[in-house]
Structure 1
């Protein structure tokens, strides 16, 4: 465990990504993650639509290797115009 995080690496880490509902949103998110995490298996992705079906929240369970990797994931996702929020 390092001084700047309470996480012990490697670990499973959930990342929630929200955006407008579209057929290709999940594929887009996984494409953005791939350079940082490698391919993410479909069974490690949860999907939940908003009540009216206009927005979608994806929960991606990543295998995090370092804080730097997680920082890069958040930066990449947050910078994309179709991603509304990353938690």
Structure 2
């Protein structure tokens, strides 16, 4: 979840893509908050390891517009 910006979904996909290499992102969906200030973005991948997931979460959390990762 993050502050809405038109480029945030692309930045999230790029961050996740750096970690999954040749694997594909199975799906990406987004949903704006009621007032349009925040956006929730969901990326579905098949992770190879817990370490891979941890690295993705760390990079996502370092993105300034990302407020929370689950």
Aligned to 2:67, what secondary structure does the other structure show? Answer: strand
CA contact (8 A) 1:49 1:57 kept: yes
Unaligned runs of 5+ in 2: none
Scaled by the length of structure 2, what TM-score is found?
A: 0.87
The CA RMSD over aligned residues, in Å, is 1.5
The alignment of Structure 1 onto Structure 2 pairs a total of residues equal to: 69
Q: Which has the larger radius of gyration?
A: 1
User: 1:48 Cα deviation (Å)?
Assistant: 0.7
Scaled by the length of structure 1, what TM-score is found?
A: 0.72
Partner of residue 48 from structure 1, selected from 9, 27, 31? 31
Structure with bigger strand share is 1
Aligned to 1:51, what secondary structure does the other structure show? Answer: coil
